[in-house]
Structure 1
């Protein structure tokens, strides 16, 4: 039987980086390299319906081995792609066994150092086996740790028929890191009642609340003319955009907010003097807070434009995702069973809110209530990304116990 570590070390060496600028789906074909391997390994385990669809999704079913017929169908989901922020090619994972707490200097770039006090939760890992990359790439624990854990849990259940469970669905998605992870998922084919994404951080954490999120695009139409003859005529769209950005309240920026505080965040600016486009992401834990921030941004835009009487702006709001707690509060047994699974393993479960979103956010509103449980990944989207072997092993145990608890309660 392959250990979760063996699987993880194999998976991170496969480049699956997604591309936010691609118009294909999935955004990069190389994501399917890992997905094809996962299908092959699931078939080897005896999962007969494992397959990769044309959109890059892996679907599979672990059949029930219980005599009970009323057990809800549970899904476990992770994404195969890695962040576009740091290269995921030529990853060289390193296992730092029985780590003693000393600085971990990554050999291919000695300026990359994991230090206690600098990285959240690292001080809890003394004596454990820490996995990092070599310093020039991300590791890919986000979310190949989750993928490896689900695969290891499936193999464990297949080889331990004494553990009774209902039908279990497996879903591996592409393009989560570019916000398209659930765009073409077929929930009718999946056939699950409830789900869990395995894409969280510290051991014992469960996240059942996310930001609500919108995107805003402001398209500014200025007045262009020859700069040598521009007196009282030129209204430069780039300068208008700059004034909008300068007027944003600092207290509502990501760098000035924490916990359940939302923000207005410009993410892209492009244009020429005649036309400029500003793109924003708006985040808040309540929909009313989201709308308040959008109204404020519109007010700022209108105030700036008053000084440019011949210029106009289009203000377009696009819904991105909503706080999954709205759905999960209607199905408390989903989080309760995960907490019970952790408590049985001696953990002290911690309920957290995500200052971001997951596939689970969208899946919940698509009809599959789906909180996020820990995978052990840390410092994701960076060259300092790390995960501990012991945390991955605990995640496997939690997945197995969640399956057992749903069967017991049926």
Structure 2
């Protein structure tokens, strides 16, 4: 399969699309639209005449059906254009390490940044492949410009090969996924899809139909303020109360750094305040809602126990729902994942079904009425200067997307 996926990827990653969690705008940064406008232009050039960018930063486009069948469901492929606020995305200089020989990859603009096989086990299967990295001072942007590039290249391929029959295909590129707002303003009625796939995963051949369920917890502590020179028997310092709450969390369990696979966690994310009032922020993660509630109860129990030492202080404990495990929805539509399995096998790969220790746009989309598992992109070490992607794996992702379109047409 001839491919332009690498050329697209190298072009897209040089556009800074970092989102901003502190912004109240939609999208959170105007610069995300710079890539989205380019995508609309390229879709027009390919012949997708309804491609457009809306005011909120979403790109919508339609690849019309070329089959005589009337009952083929409309499917959507979705990726996000923004990159993580965790690492700079400005001035990305992508480097293609052709026919990589297995040695450590030293990134030239900061030689302290080294991609080592010993620390990246997925590299073991990449010897002889072409590896793309950044130069050492920024992230690469494979999350998720690899997915964007793969969808765009699949559209190109399908348009150039009308002998491949497919139903109506919808394309959706979202902003602000990295800050949890990727679906806030999406118009599903306008999109008009029955089922969807996010192209936002990692290792070759993998796909996910399960994510964490997620809540946030906001604890507001109100202490008793007093002048420190006359505070004996009066002062109850909210900063110390907050510190006691965090210190009471277990050191060897229930944290991101001590859990894996299906284990959830309680993770403090921010603290802000003065001796009179402090706000503590947490994220709670588990694969079941019951597990979320158990961890929230555990955290609330810590708070209650700590407050017993500060009899005049009070606290509010607020739980904010973030997203839920998309498996709850996808289990009602098993064929959506079964078709991914078959598409990956047709590409000569061994399918690898995984659970995401996180969320995707697909988590929210599934509960909004668009069942939406997640498919690999070939990218790794996201949100870091050591991010990398395999060109050959990106090409396989394109092949899987094309196969999926064909399978949906065949099965209906």
Does TM, normalized by the shorter one, top 0.5? yes
**Secondary structure at 2:156 match in 1:** helix
Residue 334 of structure 2: aligned partner: 332
Q: Does the 8 Å CA contact 2:3/2:395 hold for their aligned counterparts?
A: no
Q: Deviations over 1:312-358 (max 9, x none)?
A: 00100000000000000000000000110111111110100000000
Within a 5 Å distance, the mapping from 1:271-290 to structure 2 comes to 271-290=273-292
In structure 2, distance between residues paired with 1:260 and 1:104: 32
Per-residue deviation at 1:43? 0.6
Residue 183 of structure 1: aligned partner: 184
In structure 1, distance between residues paired with 2:238 and 2:205: 50
In structure 2, distance between residues paired with 1:206 and 1:253: 25
Residue 13 of structure 2: aligned partner: 12
In structure 2, distance between residues paired with 1:157 and 1:348: 24
Figure out how many residues of one structure are paired with residues of the other and give that number. 410
Q: Does 1:135 align with 2:136?
A: yes
Per-residue deviation at 1:123? 1.0
In structure 1, distance between residues paired with 2:101 and 2:386: 18
Residue 249 of structure 2: aligned partner: 248
Residue 41 of structure 2: aligned partner: 40
Residue 378 of structure 1: aligned partner: 380
In structure 2, distance between residues paired with 1:289 and 1:199: 26
Q: Does the 8 Å CA contact 2:108/2:135 hold for their aligned counterparts?
A: yes
In structure 2, distance between residues paired with 1:277 and 1:292: 22
Q: Does 1:302 align with 2:304?
A: yes
Residue 388 of structure 1: aligned partner: 390
Q: Does the 8 Å CA contact 2:219/2:279 hold for their aligned counterparts?
A: yes
Q: Deviations over 1:174-223 (max 9, x none)?
A: 00000000000000100000000000000100111010000000000000
Residue 61 of structure 1: aligned partner: 62
2:352 aligned to which of 350, 360, 373? 350
Residue 24 of structure 2: aligned partner: 23
Residue 171 of structure 1: aligned partner: 172
4+ aligned runs moved over 4 Å, structure 1:
none
Q: Does the 8 Å CA contact 2:183/2:364 hold for their aligned counterparts?
A: yes
In structure 2, distance between residues paired with 1:21 and 1:377: 27
Change (3 A) 1:2 1:376: closer
Residue 90 of structure 1: aligned partner: 91
**Secondary structure at 2:379 match in 1:** coil
TM-score (normalizing by structure 2): 0.99
Per-residue deviation at 1:2? 6.4
TM-score (normalizing by structure 1): 0.99
Gaps of 5+ in 1: none
In structure 2, distance between residues paired with 1:377 and 1:175: 19
Q: Deviations over 1:345-389 (max 9, x none)?
A: 111101000000000000000000000000011001000000010
Residue 236 of structure 2: aligned partner: 235
Per-residue deviation at 1:120? 3.2
Q: Deviations over 1:18-49 (max 9, x none)?
A: 00100101000000000000000001111111
In structure 2, distance between residues paired with 1:217 and 1:95: 44
RMSD of aligned residue pairs (Cα, Å): 0.7
In structure 1, distance between residues paired with 2:44 and 2:239: 56
Q: Does the 8 Å CA contact 2:16/2:91 hold for their aligned counterparts?
A: yes
In structure 1, distance between residues paired with 2:123 and 2:382: 13
Q: Does 1:316 align with 2:312?
A: no
Q: Does 1:105 align with 2:106?
A: yes
In structure 2, distance between residues paired with 1:138 and 1:80: 14
Gaps of 5+ in 2: none
Q: Deviations over 1:217-243 (max 9, x none)?
A: 000000001000001000000000000
In structure 1, distance between residues paired with 2:139 and 2:47: 33
Q: Deviations over 1:387-410 (max 9, x none)?
A: 010000000000000000000011
Q: Deviations over 1:242-267 (max 9, x none)?
A: 00001112211111111101100000
**Secondary structure at 1:117 match in 2:** helix
In structure 2, distance between residues paired with 1:67 and 1:134: 49
